[in-house]
Homo-oligomer: A and B are copies of this chain.
């Protein structure tokens, strides 16, 4: 796979509400699947499928520990990426409210 496709794979993996939610939960640190499953509204198998996509995109790493499987964010850059996307949206919202005030 070439670099462009690898980049698309990362972006695609993050471009889903459930998966973005999972990654954001992991910003604070490692969690096992059971913890990720807690306040989430979809099935266990679905969560597992999303985790696989995030693993294969090299966004998360998996560590087995007995019955449990722990997931964590693989690199600092992924965290930075999330923050930048958040910043872009914050700016958008700021612009929108500014426009509304001026009219």
Q: Which of A5, A10, A11 has the most CB of B within 10 A?
A: A11
Q: Is A31 an interface residue (CB 8 A)?
A: no
Q: Is the interface of A mostly helix, strand, loop or mixed?
A: helix
Query: When the two chains form their complex, are residues A58 and B15 in contact, meaning their CB atoms are under 8 A apart?
Result: no
One complex includes copies of this chain to the number of: 2
- Enumerate chain B residues within 8 angstroms of A16, measured Cβ to Cβ: 8
Query: When the two chains form their complex, are residues B11 and A85 in contact, meaning their CB atoms are under 8 A apart?
Result: yes
Task: Give A5 to B85 CA distance when docked, in angstroms.
Answer: 11
Which residues in chain A, 85-102, are within 8 Å of chain B measured between CB atoms? 85-93
Cβ contacts A1-34/B at 8 Å (1 or 0 each): 0011111101110111100110000000000000
Q: Is A49 an interface residue (CB 8 A)?
A: no
Number of residues of chain A lying within 8 A (CB) of chain B: 31
- Identify the A interface with B (CB < 8 A): 3-8, 10-12, 14-17, 20-21, 58, 75, 77-78, 80-81, 84-93
A-B contact sample (9 more), CB < 8 A, given A7-B20, A78-B88: A5-B17, A7-B88, A7-B89, A10-B89, A58-B92, A77-B87, A77-B91, A80-B84, A81-B81
